[in-house]
């Protein structure tokens, strides 16, 4: 596609101005006609020359194919010209959900060198994102036209939860910090099946603890000492329904939840616990069986990076039945959702079903805007009505939380941005108590 450049528009404007002068001074008609012929000839020749130069520029995108959400990322573009010199502007067709800074980019590239230009994008949405292509507007030799071309250069990137933010939180989980908080991982001698050490035989040791090979080597009875098995399984039951679409700051409740779950998974794996994941409230539920390997964290990120909260209402009972069938060994099940007063019919039966074999905790995300609403001054009737509605809404939620707690279920009722700290504190409290 050929687009007129500024020079051509300026020349056409001057020619039209000369046409107005001809209406006043008829003797200028011949000059005006000659100017028209000259302008048309130059424009046609320049357009033909620009058209013959199409396809000379190759573009290669340089970017990371794994990006954390909520960050600014640099995107590089390498331009090569087959022959001569090319000047113009380019626009990279980045994902529509991303904001860009630095586009369009001015470029001048010659055949003897490669040009690299850079702009930035704000990565504002998780999942599979596509950089579709690059639009070029190259100037014609006389700068009368811009030749617009589309270069096919598609790149697919995976946008993960913000692991940089998770790495910041994990500083709290280093051995030095944990010891300052009074959280130490200790082994206890006991009757478990986890081998601890070899030691001399004691009179009250059962015969099955004697290590006969070690005893024959040293010429005296040697016993195996075992440690109590304190490791546990933690399974996150994640609501991916419509309620998780609410926002707290720049991120949705769902994104805050993913950050919190990945952080707690990292800490639990460091402590030797197994971590798993199950999702519900969307068309394709996903289940990640509990594992102890540190590679589990990467598996979790791959399992959830493209998840988005759906428009479905969560079915807690169906989710609990599915998880109960998949999860045989006792585990700590952490259900993350947004409680409502209409959940009585499905939530309580679902929690009771899970509690037959597992320990269950419920993390309910509260909208931060409700707290701000209650703190805002009431200056008119409309503000009073809004506050009254907010108070009624919070009271119904508190009744739901009270019902769960009355049934012996541990409930964390927090705003979304405070969920990481709340889950970590809850985990360590259970770890201390040995629950």
Whole-prediction pTM value? Answer: 0.69
Structure tokens at 75: 């995107």
Entry field: residues in the chain? 435
Helix (H, G, I), strand (E, B) or coil at 134: strand
For residue 293, being part of any structural domain is answered with yes
How far is residue 260's CA from residue 420's CA, in Å, rounded to a whole number? 4
Q: Please indicate, yes or no, if residue 348 is contained in any of the structural domains.
A: yes
Q: What is the pLDDT of residue 175?
A: 43
Spatial contact of 163 and 301, defined as CB atoms under 8 Å apart? yes
Q: What is the pLDDT of residue 75?
A: 94
280 and 148 within one domain: no
DSSP per residue, 82-107: SSSEEEEEEEE---TTSEEES-SEEE
Identify the CA nearest to 419 among candidates 373, 374, 366: 366
Is 147 exposed, middle or buried, given 0-12, 13-18 or 19+ CB atoms closer than 10 A?
A: buried
The tokens for 136 are 């070029």
Instruction: List pLDDT tens digits, range 36-55.
Output: 899 999 999 988 988 888 88
337 with 241, same domain: the answer is yes
Q: Is 1 inside a domain boundary? A: no
The predicted pLDDT at position 77 comes to 93
Q: Does residue 156 share a domain with residue 245?
A: no
Res 182: pLDDT:
41
Residues 331 and 355 in one domain: yes
* Structure letter (DSSP) for residue 46: H
Indicate if 168 and 266 belong to the same structural domain: yes
378 belongs to a structural domain: yes
Say whether both 42 and 171 belong to one domain.
no
Tell me which DSSP letter residue 408 carries.
T
User: What is residue 231's predicted lDDT score, i.e. its pLDDT?
Assistant: 65
In this structure, the answer to whether residues 403 and 284 fall within a common structural domain is yes
Residue-number span of the structural domain to which 22 is assigned: 7-52
Residue 209 burial class via C-beta count within 10 angstroms: exposed 0-12, middle 13-18, buried 19 and up: middle
Q: Do 247 and 253 form a contact (C-beta atoms < 8 A)?
A: yes
pLDDT recorded at residue 121: 94
Nearest to residue 418, comparing CAs of 263, 240, 239, 279? 263
Say if 2 falls within a structural domain.
no
Q: Judge whether 373 lies within some domain.
A: yes
Q: How far is CA 391 from CA 20, 364, 365, 374, 375, in A?
A: 72, 17, 16, 8, 11
Q: Is residue 72 part of a domain?
A: yes
Q: What CA–CA distance (Å, rounded) separates 244 from 238? A: 10
Say whether both 131 and 205 belong to one domain: no
pLDDT digits (tens, 9 = 90+) for 196-227: 678 888 887 888 888 888 888 888 888 887 65
Which residues, 6+ apart, have CB-to-CB distance to 62 below 8 Å? 75, 76, 77, 78, 116
Q: Which two tokens stand for residue 282?
A: 């969307």
Domain boundary among 34, 52, 70: 52
* Number of domains forming the structure of the chain: 4
Long-range contacts of 409-412 (CB under 8 A, 24+ apart): 409/351, 409/355, 409/360, 409/361, 409/362, 410/360, 410/361, 410/362, 411/361, 411/362, 411/363, 411/364, 412/361, 412/362, 412/363, 412/364
Q: Does residue 114 share a domain with residue 39?
A: no
Of 265, 278, 290, 347, nearest to 314 by C-alpha is: 347
Q: Are residues 285 and 405 in the same domain?
A: yes
As averages over each run of 10 residues, the pLDDT of the chain (435 residues) reads 87 89 85 90 90 86 88 92 88 91 91 90 89 90 88 88 64 45 43 64 83 88 70 89 84 87 89 91 90 87 88 89 89 90 77 90 84 76 79 79 83 88 87 68
Q: Which two tokens stand for residue 205?
A: 């040791």
Do both 214 and 316 map to the same domain?
no
What does the alpha-carbon distance between residue 78 and residue 62 come to, in Å, rounded to a whole number?
Answer: 7
191 falls within a domain: no
Q: How many CB atoms lie within 10 A of CB 327?
A: 21
Q: Are 137 and 147 in contact (CB under 8 A)?
A: yes
Residue 372: predicted pLDDT: 73
Q: What is the CATH number of the domain that holds 243?
A: 3.40.50.410
By CB atoms closer than 10 A (0-12, 13-18, 19+), residue 269 is: buried
Can you give the CATH number for the domain in which 68 is found? 2.60.40.10
Looking at the structure, do residues 220 and 237 belong to the same domain, yes or no?
no
Residue 76 CA to residue 64 CA, distance in Å, equals 10
């Amino acid at each position: 596609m050929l687009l007129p450049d500024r020079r051509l528009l300026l020349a056409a404007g001057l020619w039209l101005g000369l046409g107005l002068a001809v209406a006043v001074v008829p003797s200028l008609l011949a000059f005006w006609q000659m100017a028209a012929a000259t302008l048309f000839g130059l424009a046609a020749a320049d357009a033909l020359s620009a058209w013959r130069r199409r396809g000379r520029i190759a573009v290669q995108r340089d970017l990371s194919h794994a990006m954390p959400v909520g960050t600014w990322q640099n995107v590089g573009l390498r331009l090569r010209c087959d022959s001569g010199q090319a000047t113009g502007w380019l626009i990279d067709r980045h994902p529509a959900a991303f904001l860009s800074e630095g586009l369009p980019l001015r470029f001048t590239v010659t055949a003897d060198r490669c040009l690299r230009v850079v702009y930035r994008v704000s990565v504002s949405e998780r999942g599979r994102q596509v950089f579709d292509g690059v639009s070029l507007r190259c100037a014609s030799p006389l700068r009368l036209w811009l030749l617009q071309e589309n270069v096919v250069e598609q790149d697919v990137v995976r946008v993960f939860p913000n692991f940089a933010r998770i790495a910041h939180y994990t500083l709290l989980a280093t051995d030095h910090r944990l010891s300052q908080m009074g959280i130490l991982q200790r082994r206890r001698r006991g009757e478990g099946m986890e081998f601890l050490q070899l030691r001399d035989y004691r009179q009250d040791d059962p015969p099955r603890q004697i290590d006969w090979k070690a005893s024959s080597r040293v010429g005296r009875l040697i016993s195996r000492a075992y440690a109590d098995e304190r490791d546990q399984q933690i399974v996150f039951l994640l609501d991916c329904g419509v309620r998780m679409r609410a926002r707290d700051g720049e991120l949705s409740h769902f994104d805050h939840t993913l950050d919190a779950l990945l952080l707690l998974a990292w800490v639990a794996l460091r402590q030797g616990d197994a971590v798993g994941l199950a999702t519900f409230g969307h068309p394709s539920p996903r289940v990640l069986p509990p594992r102890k390997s540190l590679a589990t964290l990467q598996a979790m990120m791959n399992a959830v990076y493209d998840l988005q909260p759906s428009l479905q209402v969560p079915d807690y009972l169906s989710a609990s039945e599915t998880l109960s069938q998949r999860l045989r060994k006792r585990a700590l099940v952490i259900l993350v959702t947004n409680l409502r007063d209409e959940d009585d019919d499905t939530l309580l039966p679902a929690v009771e079903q899970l509690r037959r074999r597992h320990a269950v905790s419920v993390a309910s995300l509260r909208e931060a805007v409700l707290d701000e609403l209650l703190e805002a001054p009431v200056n008119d009737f409309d503000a009073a009505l809004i506050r009254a509605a907010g108070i009624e809404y919070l009271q119904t939620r508190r009744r739901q939380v009270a019902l769960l707690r009355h049934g012996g279920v541990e409930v964390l009722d927090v705003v979304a941005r405070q969920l990481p700290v709340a889950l970590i504190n809850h985990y360590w409290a259970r770890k201390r108590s040995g629950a």
